[in-house]
Amino acid sequence: MVLSGTLGVFVVESGQPSFNVVFFRCVFGAVALAAYCLARGLFKHHNFTRRTFALAVLGGVCIVFNWVLLFSSYTKTSISVATVVYHTQPFYVVILGLVLFKERLNRHQAGWIVLAFLGVLLVADLTSADGKKGDAYFVGVGQALLAALLYAFATVIAKHLKSVRPELTALTQVLVGIPLLLPFTALGRTAGLGAGWAWLVGLGVIHTCVMYILLYASYQKLPTAKIAVLSFVYPAVAILADFTVYGHHITLLQALGVPLIVVAGLGVNLGWRLLPAGGRRTPGDKTAAPALTRIGEPR
């Protein structure tokens, strides 16, 4: 999660447009992940079928365009604002479960979702926008929200890929991104890039290969509750990095929105009750709110 929080700095410091950044993240990430999978012998028993491979490819389309939108949002708003708004993804997962799979939405989940989007409105700071109010700023906020929606789609798809090693799924996704993004990539912009290449290589090796491996290893060892809590290290580090490196800070109004999103995210992940019971329950009554759908993994 700490590595995730530094992602925005690598993107901005590369000095490249978002399509270029994601394209080279896919290229260097694919090389690093392929080397890791080869060294671990993961290709021998990949468990891919036509269906799971097609789902992995579809998830890859969602993931790479999610990155494009998020990285573009960094430059239109700030790393802090984009990251906090992006952290509404768990609520989209709940909503998609409701729409696509007819899962039940209880009033506690609905309350947390409303609270989270109230936090989004505060973080977006529609009144002052931290001195950046304008069309570009609001487009950036919208891009972060759309990026979160695409990540939610990828999360829902990933639920059907449990038979495939996550490292192989991640490798498939970045491989999909290479031909998909090539037509949109301005390769001429890399001429004379110099030190910018180090930031792009870092995005592929550190923030794609190493970070994914650490995350997937931790999921096998930690209960869901701890994963949910630790996932909010990501926006905290992003806000700190944005302030330390670029001097960007969130306003008091935006600061009020951050805990709303954090608490609402924990509430949805951990199944907390937000609203009082609607009536008295008799002994043995087990009509409690339905169990939550497990929220998708953080980046």
For the chain, the average pLDDT equals: 85
Convert the pLDDT of each residue in 93-142 to its tens digit.
888 888 887 778 788 888 888 888 888 888 877 665 445 467 888 899 99
**pLDDT in the model for residue 126:** 61
Convert the pLDDT of each residue in 39-85 to its tens digit.
999 999 888 999 999 999 999 999 999 999 999 999 999 999 999 88
Identify the band that residue 286 occupies on the pLDDT scale cut at 50, 70 and 90. very low
Question: What H or E segment, with its residue span, contains residue 91?
Answer: helix 89-101
Residue 220 pLDDT exceeds 60: yes
- The answer to whether 259 and 123 have CB atoms below 8 angstroms apart is no
Higher pLDDT, 174 or 97: 174
Which of 283, 240, 282, 284 minimizes the C-alpha distance to 258?
A: 240
Mean pLDDT on 214-219: 83
Query: Running DSSP on this structure, what letter comes out for residue 261?
Result: H
Residue 294 pLDDT exceeds 70: no
pTM of the model: 0.84
Mean pLDDT on 143-159: 92
**pLDDT in the model for residue 170:** 93
Cβ count near 41 (within 10 Å): 8
In 125-273, which residue ranges form alpha helices assigned H by DSSP?
Answer: 135-158, 166-181, 196-204, 211-219, 224-230, 233-246, 252-270
- The answer to whether 181 and 22 have CB atoms below 8 angstroms apart is yes
Residue 147 pLDDT exceeds 60: yes
Mean pLDDT on 164-172: 92
Identify the band that residue 14 occupies on the pLDDT scale cut at 50, 70 and 90. very high
Cα 54 from Cα 36, distance rounded (Å): 23
Higher pLDDT, 241 or 285: 241
**pLDDT in the model for residue 284:** 44
Higher pLDDT, 289 or 171: 171
Residue 280 pLDDT exceeds 60: no
- The answer to whether 94 and 182 have CB atoms below 8 angstroms apart is no
Mean pLDDT on 205-217: 90
Query: Which of 232-236, 270-274, 290-294 bottoms out in mean pLDDT, i.e. has the lowest?
Result: 290-294
DSSP assignment of 220-252, as one string? Answer: TTS-HHHHHHHTTHHHHHHHHHHHHHH-----H
